[in-house]
């Protein structure tokens, strides 16, 4: 298994039928975050990250247990009244070029909230579909 310190890029995407798409790409090796929101194209950005923010991400990412997530989470039924994205995908790129991928449909890993909080801290924008 790879180590969290070998991660150079984290790409996370939420997408749903007629609900748009949000993509965040954290380039740890370049200290950048790229944000794309299909509903608010004027809110797309590329922003630099401070060394403190990068250090915080490395500290938080281990808490998410990201590298122990399943490759594919099967579709589950959302509770009535919940607003959950149709699908999500996370790609993690390591310094040797290998990629870890995890996907799901209305079903999330237990540490999804910690993962989402980490992205929101770096982006300073909510990582949620409207």
Q: What is the mean pLDDT of residues 53-64?
A: 92
With vertex at residue 125, the alpha carbon angle to CA 103 and CA 92, rounded to the nearest 5 degrees, is: 30
Stretch among 51-60, 84-93, 118-127 having the lowest mean pLDDT: 84-93
* 129 within a domain of the structure (yes/no): no
**Domain harbouring 41, CATH code:** 3.30.1560.10
Q: What span, in angstroms and rounded, lies between the C-alpha atoms of 115 and 127? A: 10
Edge-to-edge order in the sheet of strand 87-94: 45-48, 32-37, 20-27, 7-16, 87-94, 99-104, 72-73
4 DSSP 8-state letter = G
Q: Report how many domains make up the chain.
A: 1
Q: What span, in angstroms and rounded, lies between the C-alpha atoms of 13 and 128? A: 10
The pLDDT, as a whole number, for residue 84 is 54
The pLDDT, as a whole number, for residue 72 is 76
1-58: pLDDT as tens digits: 588 999 999 999 998 766 688 999 999 999 999 999 887 777 899 999 999 999 999 9
Query: Is the backbone of residue 104 left (phi > 0), alpha (psi -120 to 50) or beta?
Result: beta
* 47 within a domain of the structure (yes/no): yes
The pLDDT, as a whole number, for residue 19 is 67
pLDDT > 90: percent of the chain: 62
Stretch among 29-33, 81-85, 105-109 having the lowest mean pLDDT: 81-85
* 130 within a domain of the structure (yes/no): no
Q: What span, in angstroms and rounded, lies between the C-alpha atoms of 57 and 47? A: 15
* 128 within a domain of the structure (yes/no): no
* 118 within a domain of the structure (yes/no): yes
* 79 within a domain of the structure (yes/no): yes
More confident residue, 106 or 120: 120
- Mapped onto helix, strand or coil, the DSSP state of residue 105 is coil
Chain mean pLDDT for the chain: 86
Rounded to the nearest angstrom, the gap between the alpha carbon of residue 130 and the centroid of all alpha carbons in its chain is 16
pTM: 0.86
Tokens 């790229």, residue located? 34
pLDDT exceeds 80 at position 87: yes
Q: Which domain holds residue 62?
A: 4-123
């Amino acid at each position: 298994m790879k180590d969290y310190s070998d991660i150079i890029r984290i790409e996370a995407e939420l997408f749903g039928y007629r609900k748009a798409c949000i993509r965040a790409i954290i380039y740890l090796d370049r200290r950048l975050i790229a944000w794309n929101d299909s509903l608010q194209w004027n809110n797309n950005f590329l922003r630099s990250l401070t060394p403190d923010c990068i250090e915080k991400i490395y500290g938080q990412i281990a808490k998410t247990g990201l590298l122990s997530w399943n490759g594919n989470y099967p579709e589950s039924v959302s509770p009535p009244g919940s607003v959950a994205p149709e699908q999500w995908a996370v790609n993690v790129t390591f310094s040797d070029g290998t990629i870890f991928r995890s996907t799901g449909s209305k079903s999330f890993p237990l540490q999804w909230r910690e993962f989402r909080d980490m992205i929101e801290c770096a982006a300073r924008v909510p990582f949620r579909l409207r």
